[in-house]
Structure 1
Amino acid sequence: MAKIGIFFGTDTGNTRRIAKDIQTLLGAGLAAKPVNIRTASVEDLLQADVLILGTPTYGEGELPGLATGNATESWAEFLPKLASHDLTGKTVAIYGLGNQKGYADDFVSAMFYLYSAFKQ
Structure 2
Amino acid sequence: MKDHEKAVTLMTDELHIKPYFDYKGGTIVGSSAHSTEPATTAHVFMIQSLLSRNKDVIYILPVRKLSEEDEHAKHIILSVAKIGLKVIAVITAMLGTQDDVLFCRNHSSEHRSSPSSG
The bucket for the TM-score relative to the shorter chain is 0.3 to 0.5
**Which of the two has higher C-alpha Rg?**
2
What's the TM-score, normalizing by structure 2?
0.34
Q: Which has the higher strand share?
A: 2
